[in-house]
Amino acid sequence: MEATIAGQEWTAALGTVMAEVADCFPRREPRLLAREMTQGLLMELDTRNCWTLAEALGHSVSAYELKCRAAYG
């Protein structure tokens, strides 16, 4: 059995999850980045890395990669 959530329900579910962890991100920018990265990880992509997440979310790849390197390396 495959579970799927469509449109507005998916957005509401993500909002609920992000509200639960919002206190982990006191500043707005990291909180938004966490939301975007979570959205990217939930997308159907062949591979998941900073490059493919940036492309899928419509961000500047170099800026997004810099953010990922700062967070993980």
Residues 7-57: tens digit of each pLDDT: 678 888 889 999 999 999 899 988 888 888 888 888 888 888 777 888 888
Residue 9 covered by a domain: no
| Total domains in the fold of the chain | 1
User: What is the token pair recorded at 27?
Assistant: 């500043």
Residue 8 covered by a domain: no
Residue 10 covered by a domain: no
Nearest 5 degrees, angle CA 27-CA 52-CA 50? 40
Residue 61 covered by a domain: yes
Residue 42 covered by a domain: yes
Contact indicator for 39, 14 with CB cutoff of 8 Å: yes
The pLDDT confidence band at residue 6, using thresholds 50, 70 and 90, is low
Q: How far is CA 43 from the centre of its chain?
A: 9
Structural domain that includes position 42: 27-73
Dihedral angle over CA of 4, 18, 57, 42, nearest 10:
-30
The pLDDT confidence band at residue 63, using thresholds 50, 70 and 90, is low
Residue 7 covered by a domain: no
Residue 58 covered by a domain: yes
Residue 57 covered by a domain: yes
User: What is the token pair recorded at 3?
Assistant: 């579970």
